[in-house]
């Protein structure tokens, strides 16, 4: 089986944490017996002079083709026009990919296109699948449906792509319901849970890890980009009623200055640590040191950070967003609460006073393995190829 994985959500040297779960999924499939896989990871670039911004200069400096952590990766550039709400992204991506894939097919006649993010990847994948006469699968992860699937400029494109794809994947049953509500065909949607490396994300000696990290007392960890949707401000607002508790936020983004200001306004001093972008390999240390993790997202598919925390025997406090109820199935996994500072503070207080057993918490992560993820993806794609033929 020859698989073309198409994903604008994929790590690179300038953004090593960006889409690491997509990379891990692709790597698992590439290692599966009988699979030959190539990755096309397009980079959206604005026109000059915006392309001179340091962020885009770093992307422009990346190689067009490389071997990335054992995967054959091509990184074509496509033009993204600012102030257009993404309305032209998919068309620009499709135009860029036609000559790239025409050349690729001369040496790699892929049997299926596996689009690992819904927009702009999905519409481009469907158009290119028709061009080459191969089936297309599109996976929905979160913002690709909750934002692009509802925004006026792009919703119709997302809907048409979902209706035109041969198969669809959803990271949770809740995401599947959201896709159906948008008008995507229910009979083509398969729930495909993420995986977690249970050897890497594992419990540790909490007290020793806290000493290494310079933390005294209870520790809460939040993992997620510093953007409004992640709700880091809600967890910060919960902290004044939790004396002696430290909050460490692993992530970077445009909200950094506002979150620091909020922390200062609440006189929290050093009790809020903005860690910046933490390498994925370093996350287990923070999660295993934490007494619990808290993430107040307004929307999610099924957050990898939830599963990684549970794998470290660290319970979670989260709102009823996305696949929350598929993960927190009893109190040993944590709490699902209202998206308010008071609700988060109360749940945190209860869990700190009476924490669940470590093995009971970790049990909730043990069904989310990369082995299961890979086997399900192989079965899904091979089925699309067989039906297409």
Per-residue model confidence as pLDDT tens digits over 4-62: 999 999 999 999 999 999 999 999 999 999 999 999 999 999 999 988 888 899 999 99
CATH no., domain 206-363: 3.40.50.2000
Q: Tell whether pTM > 0.85.
A: yes
Dump pLDDT digits (tens) for 99-116: 999 999 999 999 999 999
Sign of the C-alpha dihedral, residues 237, 240, 242, 247? positive
Q: Mention every residue, 6+ apart, whose C-beta is less than 8 A from residue 119.
A: 86, 89, 90, 144, 148, 149, 154, 157, 158, 161
**Is-contact 43 76, C-beta < 8 A?**
yes
Q: Where are the domains of the chain?
A: 2-194+369-388, 206-363
pLDDT band at 143 (very low <50, low <70, confident <90, very high): confident
Which phi and psi angles does 313 have, rounded to 5°? 65, 30
The predicted pLDDT at position 117 comes to: 94
Tracing tokens 């000059």 back to the chain, one arrives at 48
Q: What is the pLDDT of residue 51?
A: 86
Phi-psi region for residue 117, left (φ > 0), alpha (ψ -120 to 50) or beta? beta
Report the topology of domain 2-194+369-388: Rossmann fold (3.40.50)
- Does this chain's domain 2-194+369-388 share its CATH topology with 206-363? yes
Distance separating alpha carbons of residues 145 and 177, to the nearest angstrom: 11
């Amino acid at each position: 089986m020859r698989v073309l994985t198409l994903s604008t959500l994929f790590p690179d040297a300038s953004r090593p944490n960006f889409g690491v779960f997509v990379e891990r999924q692709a790597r698992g499939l590439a290692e599966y017996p009988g699979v030959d896989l190539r990755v096309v990871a397009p980079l959206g670039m604005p026109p000059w002079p915006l392309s001179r911004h340091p962020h885009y200069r770093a992307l422009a400096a990346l190689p067009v083709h490389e071997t990335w952590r054992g995967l054959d990766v091509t990184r074509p550039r496509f033009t993204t026009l600012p102030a257009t709400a993404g309305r032209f992204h998919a068309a620009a991506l499709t135009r860029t990919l036609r000559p790239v894939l025409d050349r690729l097919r001369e040496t790699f006649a892929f049997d299926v296109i596996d689009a690992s993010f819904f927009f702009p990847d999905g519409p481009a994948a469907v158009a290119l699948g028709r061009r080459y006469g191969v089936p297309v699968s599109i996976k929905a992860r979160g913002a690709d449906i909750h934002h692009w699937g509802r925004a006026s400029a792009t919703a119709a494109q997302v809907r048409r792509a979902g209706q035109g794809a041969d198969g669809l994947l959803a990271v949770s049953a809740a995401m599947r319901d959201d896709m159906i509500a948008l008008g995507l065909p229910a009979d083509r949607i398969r729930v495909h849970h993420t995986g977690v490396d249970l050897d890497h994300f594992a419990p540790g000696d909490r007290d020793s890890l806290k000493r290494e990290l310079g933390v005294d007392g209870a520790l809460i960890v939040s993992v997620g980009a510093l953007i409004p949707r992640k709700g880091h401000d809600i967890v910060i607002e919960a902290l004044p009623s939790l004396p002696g508790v430290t909050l460490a936020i692993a992530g970077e983004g445009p909200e950094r200055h506002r979150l620091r200001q909020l922390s200062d306004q609440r006189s929290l001093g050093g009790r809020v640590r903005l860690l910046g972008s933490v390498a994925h390999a370093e996350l287990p240390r923070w999660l295993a040191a934490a007494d619990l993790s808290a993430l107040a997202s307004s929307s999610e598919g099924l957050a990898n950070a939830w599963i990684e925390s549970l794998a470290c025997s660290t319970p979670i406090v989260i709102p009823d967003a996305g696949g929350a109820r598929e993960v927190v199935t009893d109190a040993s996994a944590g709490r699902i609460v209202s998206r308010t500072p008071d609700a988060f503070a109360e749940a945190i207080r209860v869990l700190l006073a009476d924490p669940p057993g470590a093995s009971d918490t970790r049990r909730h992560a043990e069904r989310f393995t990369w082995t299961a993820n890979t086997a399900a993806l192989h079965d899904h794609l091979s089925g699309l190829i067989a039906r297409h033929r």
